[in-house]
Amino acid sequence: MSGAGGPGMAEGQPKPGEPLPPTIRALGWTSFLTDLSSEAIYPLLPAFLLRELGGSALSVGLVDGVANCVAAIVRLPSGAASDWLGRRPLVLFGYGISAVIRPLMGLVASPLGALLVRAGDRFGKGIRSAPRDALVADLVEPGIRGRAFGHIRAMDHAGAAFGPLLAMLFLLLFPGRERTLFLLAILPGLVTLVVIWRYVRDAPARTPVAARTALAPRLGRRQMTLLAAVAIWAVGASSEQFLLLRAAELGVPAALVPLVWLCMSLAKSGSATYAGRLADRWHPRAALATGWLAFAVAYAGLAVSSQLAAALPLLLLVGVAYGIAEPAERALVARLAPEGRHGSAFGWYALVQGIMALPAGLLAGGLWQQGPQGPAWALGTTALLSTLACGLLVACGREEAHSPGITVRQGGAA
């Protein structure tokens, strides 16, 4: 299966100085505003679940795992449907669901209620994720896809940085008012919908795929090997809330936990800005392997570290690893997708990544509770699985490079 460019676009060389389309920049702002809203809540959830709702470490993993699993269920049909219906309607619908449901976290009274709200929020994410990424692939030429995805991921993580900062400032001014903060999260969500309605448009040159074809997606061999590597990595990449628990265990005061999240998000945002260009200049597969390897190194270090001074730089390295890997993953998925089928390709990618969230959360949560060495076992398992995924990714790349009938294109092919 050949990696096709966007429909209606000629294969081109990277154009570093070329400005990104207005819709790409608008999608960047929607990502910023959505994460501003959601990440004002997310870093506070572990303590909220444990202290306010009477949950446990296992329930922290279960809430996040089930929520992401719910999102995963709709990602493939949503992505495939966008090949037929267009990207914008599903992007708007998905962001709308999250904007309305997310603030209801301020009204829950039990871990089950928190799970339902979190699942509803992630259901909206599942609806919008694949169509949004497919829209990016439609709008830009292959040579600058890494930069386009890097821009959106950078804006996403910038929102994730400022959300906890606003949460921390709010709670310093209004101690103990987490529920009020959660309810106020509706405001940036509503602004997101205005931005999408006014500025986000489908690619004009795109030809819709017939409904029967779009809703019966098939995979090529190279797509399947990539998804296998993604699955191995994702089952180890449990909820980042466990990193916040680790920081708290090593001595970070509860009031400053959002600051840890802020710093990790800034590391993600800053690295994504440049890593997207790196994926265009190198090869998405090489950039992705670099990100996963850095991820493994960071988690291995956290597994053996018992001092906060050593753990904090490693937490930042986790952020850098995400910033390197995320644009590269999406650029590689787009490169491997058949022409006109970016929606289903991103749907498969998001499905595999999301469906692994439940076993990842249960694995990490179960290991975490196995006595004093539990956190080390959980973090070390993540490092091991990330290394295995990186090895599979590199091995498959070498096999393809030496296989007859696979053409390596200028500018990096998969």
Sequence-ordered list of residues with C-beta below 8 angstroms from that of 138, at least 6 positions apart, any chain: 6, 7, 87, 202, 203, 206, 342
Side-chain-facing half-sphere of 381: CA atoms under 13 Å? 22
Amino acid in position 154: A
State the helix-helix crossing angle for 257-281 and 241-249, rounded to 10 degrees.
130
- The predicted-structure confidence for 100-126, as pLDDT tens digits, reads as follows 999 998 888 888 888 889 989 989 988
Under 8 Å between Cβ of 37 and 207: no
Predicted local distance difference test score (pLDDT) of residue 27: 93
Sequence-ordered list of residues with C-beta below 8 angstroms from that of 313, at least 6 positions apart, any chain: none
Residue 11 placed within a domain: no
Give the helix/strand (H/E) hosting 115: helix 111-139
CATH of residue 306 = 1.20.1250.20
Tokens (6 digits) for 272: 């994504």
Residue 4 placed within a domain: no
Residue 408 placed within a domain: no
- The predicted-structure confidence for 299-334, as pLDDT tens digits, reads as follows 998 888 878 888 888 989 989 998 888 888 888 888
Under 8 Å between Cβ of 32 and 184: no
Predicted local distance difference test score (pLDDT) of residue 112: 86
What average pLDDT does the segment 30-52 reach?
84
Helices (H), 176-307: 178-184, 186-199, 211-214, 221-236, 241-249, 257-281, 284-304
| Nearest Cα residue to 174 out of 47, 166, 105 | 166
SS3 55: coil
Predicted local distance difference test score (pLDDT) of residue 341: 72
Amino acid in position 189: G
Residue 250 placed within a domain: yes
Predicted local distance difference test score (pLDDT) of residue 58: 73
Distance CA 226, CA 333 (A): 8
Task: Classify burial at 137, counting beta carbons within 10 Å of its beta carbon; exposed 0-12, middle 13-18, buried 19 or more.
Answer: buried
Domain extent for 276: 22-202+211-401
Task: Classify burial at 308, counting beta carbons within 10 Å of its beta carbon; exposed 0-12, middle 13-18, buried 19 or more.
Answer: middle
- The predicted-structure confidence for 199-249, as pLDDT tens digits, reads as follows 988 877 655 554 455 455 566 677 788 888 888 988 888 767 788 888 887
Residue 299 placed within a domain: yes
Quote the number of domains for the chain. 1
Predicted local distance difference test score (pLDDT) of residue 230: 87
User: For 28-37, 56-65, 377-386, which range has the lowest pLDDT when averaged over its residues?
Assistant: 56-65
* Tokens 């871990």 found at: 111
SS3 11: coil
What average pLDDT does the segment 250-274 reach?
81
Sequence-ordered list of residues with C-beta below 8 angstroms from that of 382, at least 6 positions apart, any chain: 236, 237, 238, 295, 296, 299, 364
Residue 98 placed within a domain: yes
Under 8 Å between Cβ of 261 and 322: no
pTM for the complete prediction?
0.74
How many residues would you count in the chain?
Answer: 414
Tokens (6 digits) for 367: 């290991």
What average pLDDT does the segment 132-144 reach?
84
pLDDT at 384 over 60: yes
Residue 270 placed within a domain: yes
Amino acid in position 220: G
pLDDT at 379 over 80: yes
Residue 288 placed within a domain: yes
pLDDT band at 352 (very low <50, low <70, confident <90, very high): confident
Q: Please provide residue 217's backbone torsions phi and psi, each rounded to the nearest 5 degrees.
A: -70, 145
